[in-house]
Amino acid sequence: MEEVQGRIRALERAHGMTFEELEELYLKKRVSRTMLGTYFDWAGLVHAYRGYLEDGELDYVVEEARDLSPDELSLLTPKRLDLLYALTSLRVQSINDLAQKVRRNVKNVYQDLQVLRKLGFVALRKRGKRNLVPEALVEEITFMIR
């Protein structure tokens, strides 16, 4: 959600207008062909944001290509990939809950989550005073080797 809001703000700054102002230009057929792609991308972001506000569900996928260094790639061990997969398919309330569900030591799960967080695949959200809830930031990872 934060990424969607950030992208909307970035588009507003880059184009010096709100989406509503761009949409008005679009409806009046005053948007150049070069701006059409931007308009549709922006519309998708705004639609996802409004949907989230209405029903609490974010329906927007951001495709991102990242070049991982060999050192970063070596951090994606089978156990960490399994943990990431489990995190995308299970509802967890805490790191302890995740560790129990994957039948691993809490300390090792926490360390693996820290590595995945540094790589940008996981966020740790604070709930309450001491509870950290892991959240997957990716749905799919495709490896392309050149």
Cα 131 from Cα 125, distance rounded (Å): 8
pTM for the predicted model, two decimal places: 0.61
Q: Which residue has the tokens 């604070």?
A: 126
Do 51 and 75 fall within a single domain? no
Residue 24, in any domain of the structure: yes
Residue 74, in any domain of the structure: yes
For range 30-53, the mean pLDDT: 85
Do 15 and 43 fall within a single domain? yes
**CA–CA distances in Å: residue 36 to residues 23, 27, 63:** 11, 12, 19
Q: pLDDT-based confidence at 146, cuts 50/70/90?
A: low
For range 131-141, the mean pLDDT: 87
**CA 55, 57, 60 angle in degrees (round to 5)?**
130
**In this predicted model, what pLDDT tens digit does every residue of 70-115 receive, in sequence order?**
899 999 999 999 999 999 889 899 999 999 999 999 999 999 999 9
The DSSP line for the chain is: -HHHHHHHHHHHHHHTS-HHHHHHHHHTT---HHHHHHHHHHHHHHHHHHHHHHHS-------------HHHHHT--HHHHHHHHHHHHS--SSHHHHHHHHT--HHHHHHHHHHHHHTTSEEEEEETTTEEEEEES-S-------
Return the biggest CA–CA distance within the chain.
60
Do 38 and 78 fall within a single domain? no
Residue 14, in any domain of the structure: yes
Angle 95-102/106-118 helices, nearest 10 degrees? 110
Residue 142, in any domain of the structure: no
Do 128 and 79 fall within a single domain? yes
Q: Residue 116: which domain range? A: 70-136
Do 91 and 38 fall within a single domain? no
Residue 143, in any domain of the structure: no
Do 78 and 131 fall within a single domain? yes
